[in-house]
Amino acid sequence: MMEDLISTALLGTRGGTARAAVMPEDVASVLPSEAADADERLLDSAAAMTLYARAGVIPREGIELPSPAGTDQWTACTPVAAAILARICEEAMHPLLLEWLEFAARAERRPPHWMLPKLLDAAAGRRALRVPVSAIIDERGRWLTQFNLKWQFTGAGDQPPVERWQLGNRQQRGEALREVRACDPALARELLARTWGEDAAELRVEWIECLLVNLSDADEPFLESCFEDRSVRVREAAANLLCRLPESRFAQRMVARVSPLVTFRIGAAGSVLKLTRGKKASWNVALPEACDKGMLRDGVSEKPGSSMGPKQWWLQQLIGFVPLDHWTRSTGANAAELVGANGGEFAAVLTHGWLAALARRPIAEWIEPLMDVAGPDVFQSPGVLQAVPLEARSKMMKLLSSRVAQNVYFLNQLIEAWRPLDPPTSSQLLDGVDLHTLLLSEAHFALHASSISRCEGMLTGWNKAGEHPRRVDQVLAILSMRRTLRQEFTR
């Protein structure tokens, strides 16, 4: 009815006016029977309809109330920990929220009930938070999820994952597939096959990427079948997984294509009397003549995306699909020797091909040699940083110190991959990084507890010079909260 009144107001009251007869009987009965003019009748009608809308409705009868929540199994966290949690959520400090959730799970403490909606909202917006939030919300939190579809990432109550895969939305299906894949890879493939023809290409790409968890040779037949897919992105996703399986037919096809084109010549030492010169190890490289249908089917792109010539582009892609350990096995040389021998006209083709292979299937032995020639480009994939063994991270941090000293973006990438930092790596970071870079990075979220006091001392002394006082105070507050959280959850 209000729409009619608004329309009358826009068109004017001369051509007619809102009549009480078109309004609800209860509203019409309170309007004056006669008014001075049409404008006054219109205003009276609008005022009455506004009050009518604000008055609410009579509660419906016969509504079945939901079953009450079960009894929580965990004790609530301390008021101090709850206050910190509230501040974390208010300021969207997600790295610190992850730490809060880890402490709570280890101590078997739940958040206060009044924080549950905010926690569920935060997890609905960030996938990385979903599993840790689901682990600590206890019975009341799981009960709440039934009232908001966004919150049903926790497992949709008691609904089994197979049912969620069949009936859920995109988010729920993805979570269900990952859950099944983690415990029963064969069943995950079976679920994919059931709906493969019905799912859009975008979804098929996402489902293939889920197979990275527990990837094995048993996945090869399914992934090979994806090369018949019409979508280029689906074929590329399948290729990216198959090249992680060194014995797969795909990997062997790539090795067969590259072997005649790229060969390694082993070096030879000179004679003792220097009658003959030694020969350095080197690479012989030839370019492919064409990009045939088989290469296109296997995910090789025909047109280069840069100023590189097409033949060099094809070879670079082929090398990127060859498992790196093929080169060490077939030549008998180690990664440092192979990279060190790279030179000449096609050195960049080999280097960038190896970098692509490293990103697809990181091997720790290749990281440092490639870093020596490619710099931070070696870490173009987060998986490469994650492949650095824990015992080697302190040394790698030292090697990278000149590159991370004033590079906030790269430092944050490193922190994200290695969080939480172990004591030696934390100490090495504080030794090598520029204070300004440290301040602008997220290092304060990842430093080991043993380095917090040292970092506080560095920033407090720097703050006396009056540089970035607001940011310094913010970082110091976060470091203080981290220390307090540890105390609150270890009482």
pLDDT in tens, 424-456: 999 999 988 888 888 888 899 999 999 999 999
Q: How far apart are CA 4 and CA 439, in angstroms?
A: 59
Q: Is 192 exposed, middle or buried (0-12, 13-18, 19+ CB in 10 A)?
A: buried
Q: Is the pLDDT of residue 270 over 70?
A: no
Among 13-22, 86-95, 249-258, 443-452, the least confident range? 13-22
Query: So what's the pLDDT on residue 88?
Result: 95
Top-confidence residue, 228 or 159: 228
Residue 229's CB is within 10 A of a number of other CB atoms, namely 17
CA R_g for the chain: 32
Distance CA(272)–CA(440), nearest Å, equals: 57
Share of the chain above pLDDT 90, in %: 47
Contacts of 421 (CB under 8 A, 6+ apart): 393, 415, 429, 446, 447, 448, 451
In this structure, what token pair is assigned to residue 473? 């105070």
Contact 387, 404 (CB under 8 A): no
Average confidence (pLDDT) over 176-193? 92
- pTM for the complete prediction? 0.68
For the stretch 328-341, pLDDT in tens is 999 999 999 999 99
Confidence of residue 22 (pLDDT cuts 50, 70, 90): low
pLDDT at 272: 47
Residue 17: its pLDDT value, please? 47
Give the confidence band of 460 by pLDDT, cuts at 50, 70, 90: confident
Give the C-alpha separation, 230 to 148, whole Å: 37
Q: What is the pLDDT of residue 167?
A: 85
Q: Which pLDDT score is estimated for 463?
A: 62
Report how far residue 409's alpha carbon sits from residue 10's, in angstroms, rounded to the nearest whole number: 55
Tell me what the mean pLDDT of segment 26-39 comes to: 71
Q: Are 489 and 81 in contact (CB under 8 A)?
A: yes
User: Rounded to the nearest 5 degrees, what angle is found at the Cα of 210, between the Cα atoms of 204 and 211?
Assistant: 100
pLDDT at 35 over 60: no
- Split at pLDDT 50, 70, 90, the class of 155 is low
- Helix 423-432 crosses helix 452-463 at what angle (to 10 degrees)? 20
**How confident is the model at residue 364, as a pLDDT?**
85
CA torsion angle for 178, 180, 184, 186 (degrees, to 10)?
A: -80
Beta 262-265 vs 282-285: how paired, if at all? antiparallel
pLDDT tens column, 73-83: 999 999 999 99
Query: What is the structure's pLDDT at 34?
Result: 62
Q: Label residue 325 left, alpha or beta by phi (over 0 means left) and psi (-120 to 50 means alpha).
A: alpha
Mean pLDDT throughout 234-256? 92
Q: What percent of the chain has pLDDT over 70?
A: 90
Instruction: Look at phi and psi of residue 60 and say left if phi exceeds 0, alpha if psi is from -120 to 50, else beta.
Output: beta
pLDDT(158) > 60:
no
Predicted pLDDT at 7: 73
Tokens found for residue 345:
């006209």
Which two structure tokens, joined as six digits, stand for 260?
A: 């005649």
Which long-range contacts (C-beta less than 8 Å, at least 24 apart) are formed by 289-294? Answer: 294/253
pLDDT confidence tier of residue 186, bands split at 50, 70 and 90 = very high
Burial letters for 95-132: b for 16+ Cβ neighbours within 10 Å, e otherwise? bbbbbbbbbbeebebbbbeebbeebbebbbeeeebbeb
Q: Note the pLDDT of residue 31.
A: 76
Instruction: Enumerate the H helices of 184-248 as residue ranges.
Output: 185-195, 201-210, 220-225, 232-242
The pLDDT of residue 396 is: 83
Number of helices and strands (H, E) in the chain?
29, 4
What are the tens digits of pLDDT across the range 100-114? 999 999 999 999 999
Span 124-149, average pLDDT: 90
Q: Is 90 exceeded by the pLDDT of residue 242? A: yes
What b/e sequence results for 343-352 when a residue is b if at least 16 CB atoms lie within 10 Å of its CB, and e otherwise? Answer: eeebeebbbb
Report pLDDT for 15.
55
- Residue 399, pLDDT > 90, answer no
Specify the pLDDT at position 277: 59
According to the model, what pLDDT value does residue 19 have? 47
* Mean pLDDT of all residues belonging to the chain: 86
Which backbone phi and psi does 284 adopt, to 5 degrees? Answer: -105, 125
